[in-house]
């Protein structure tokens, strides 16, 4: 079974053909998807997708771009929303110093609230990090010292040093279509050093379509290209890559029942 651990099916890019996109994913062998929350104003749509489809689960959280609009958010608020059916993670949250669409101190404030919710619920934290390696390392280290939590470095494209620190703190990592890009050898080098039992795959659709679909709208049906890229990078067979990433997925998102025989 193919699993897409990070989809944004609530995005407006899918407004014209959302049902067809989900059907194509199933026809391509995708047996499960995790629909990711990026701001609370669209959480009802995100949660509605999970409630309407047997093979879609969801998270609750605020992307760092949206932090400036969620300064009042608390761990308790996130925890309350996480108690809804089919919510299986906290995030997407973190730091994005590339675009700086929210002030950095506000990004950090909101990120720490998410960490608190993940710590208290035991749900995995879906972490976005871009051009913020030093602060991300510091925050993860500081917060882990306050009390353990599980976390996923989603669509990881940051440096080797942050990857090493995150690995030591117990992180999972997800690989995206970027791994197929010709110019992404630095990303592939980090993928080779990731812990083999804590790697999963994602599309991050509608963004980051893998080769041979690069430049088009991404969708979950393309996750097989990402899985094959991971297999090639790690020297695994396709079957081994699927087995390893499936095991890692259910170890991380352990609120999702693992189907019998998978």
For residue 20 the two structure tokens come to 């067809």
Tens-digit pLDDT profile for residues 48-96: 999 999 999 999 999 999 999 999 999 999 999 999 999 999 999 999 9
Report the pLDDT averaged over residues 207-229. 98
Q: Which of 52, 49, 1 is nearest to 261 (CA)?
A: 1
Measured distance CA(97)–CA(212) in Å, rounded: 29
38-42-48 Cα angle (round to 5): 110
151-157-159 Cα angle (round to 5): 90
For residue 196 the two structure tokens come to 């083999």
- The whole-number pLDDT of residue 227 equals 98
Confidence of residue 162 (pLDDT cuts 50, 70, 90): very high
Measured distance CA(154)–CA(107) in Å, rounded: 17
């Amino acid at each position: 079974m193919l699993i897409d651990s990070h989809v944004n099916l609530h995005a407006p890019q899918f407004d014209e053909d959302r049902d067809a996109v989900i059907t194509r994913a199933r026809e391509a062998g995708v047996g499960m998807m995790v629909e990711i929350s990026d701001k609370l104003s669209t959480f009802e749509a995100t949660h509605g997708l999970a409630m309407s489809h047997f093979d879609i689960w969801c998270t609750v959280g605020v992307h760092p771009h949206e932090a400036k609009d969620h300064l009042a958010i608390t761990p308790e608020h996130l925890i309350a929303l996480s108690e809804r059916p089919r919510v299986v993670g906290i995030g997407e949250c973190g730091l994005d110093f590339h675009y700086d669409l929210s002030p950095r101190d506000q990004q950090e404030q909101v990120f720490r609230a998410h960490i608190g919710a993940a710590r208290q619920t035991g749900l995995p934290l879906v972490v976005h990090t871009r051009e913020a390696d030093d602060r991300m390392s510091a925050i993860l280290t500081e917060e882990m010292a306050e009390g353990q939590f599980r976390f996923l470095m989603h669509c990881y494209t940051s440096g080797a040093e942050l990857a090493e620190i995150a690995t030591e703190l117990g992180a999972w990592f997800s690989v995206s279509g970027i791994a197929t890009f010709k110019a992404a050898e630095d990303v592939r080098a980090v993928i080779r050093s990731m812990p083999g039992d804590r790697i999963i795959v994602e599309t991050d659709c509608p963004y980051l379509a893998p080769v041979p679909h690069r430049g088009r709208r991404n969708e979950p049906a393309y996750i097989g290209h990402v899985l094959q890229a991971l297999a090639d990078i790690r020297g695994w067979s396709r079957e081994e890559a699927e087995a390893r990433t499936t095991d890692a997925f259910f170890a991380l998102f352990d609120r999702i029942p693992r189907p019998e025989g998978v």
